[in-house]
Amino acid sequence: MSAEPLLVAHRDAGVLARAVAARLITRLIDGQAARGEASVVLTGGGIGIALLRAVRANPAADAVDWARLDVWWGDERFVAADSPDRNDRQAHEALLDHVGIDPKRVFPMGHRAAVTAGGDVEGATAAGGFADPESAAAQYAAQLAERAAPGSAVPVFDVVLLGLGPDGHVASLFPGRPGVVATESVVAVHDSPKPPPERVSLTLPAIQSAREVWVVVAGEEKAEAVAASFSGAGPITVPAAGAVGRERTLWLADRAAASRLPG
Which CB sits closer to ligand LXAUTJHC, 32 or 78? 78
**Cβ at position 229, least distance to ligand LXAUTJHC in Å:** 13
Q: 200 with 110: CB under 8 angstroms?
A: yes
When asked if residue 44 is in the footprint of ligand LXAUTJHC (CB under 6 A), the reply is: yes
Query: What residues between 135 and 154 interact with ligand LXAUTJHC by CB under 6 A?
Result: none
Select the residue interacting with ligand LXAUTJHC from 5, 31, 40, 48 (CB under 6 A): 48
- The residue count for binding ligand LXAUTJHC (CB under 6 A) is 13
Which CB sits closer to ligand LXAUTJHC, 113 or 243? 243
Select the residue interacting with ligand LXAUTJHC from 123, 163, 179, 245 (CB under 6 A): 163
Phi first, then psi, for residue 56 (nearest 5°) are: -60, -40
Encoded amino acid at 231, one letter: S
What's the half-sphere exposure (Cβ side, CA atoms, 13 Å) at 244? 15
When asked if residue 75 is in the footprint of ligand LXAUTJHC (CB under 6 A), the reply is: yes
When asked if residue 167 is in the footprint of ligand LXAUTJHC (CB under 6 A), the reply is: no
When asked if residue 194 is in the footprint of ligand LXAUTJHC (CB under 6 A), the reply is: yes
Measured at the CA of 157, the angle between CA 257 and CA 242, to 5 degrees, comes to 45
Q: Strand 159-162 to strand 38-42: parallel, antiparallel, or no bridges (unpaired)?
A: parallel
Select the residue interacting with ligand LXAUTJHC from 32, 39, 87, 209 (CB under 6 A): 87
DSSP reduced 3-state for 215 = strand
**Cβ at position 243, least distance to ligand LXAUTJHC in Å:** 11
DSSP reduced 3-state for 228 = helix
Question: In 67-178, which ranges are E strands?
Answer: 69-73, 75-77, 111-112, 114-115, 121-122, 129-130, 159-162
Q: Strand 114-115 to strand 159-162: parallel, antiparallel, or no bridges (unpaired)?
A: unpaired
Task: Please enumerate in sequence order all residues whose Cβ is within 8 A of that of 248, keeping only pairs 6 or more positions apart, or say none.
Answer: 2, 3, 6, 211, 212, 213
* x/- map, 93-132, ligand LXAUTJHC, by CB under 6 A: ----------------------------------------
Residues that bind ligand LXAUTJHC (CB under 6 A): 43-48, 75, 87, 162-163, 165, 172, 194
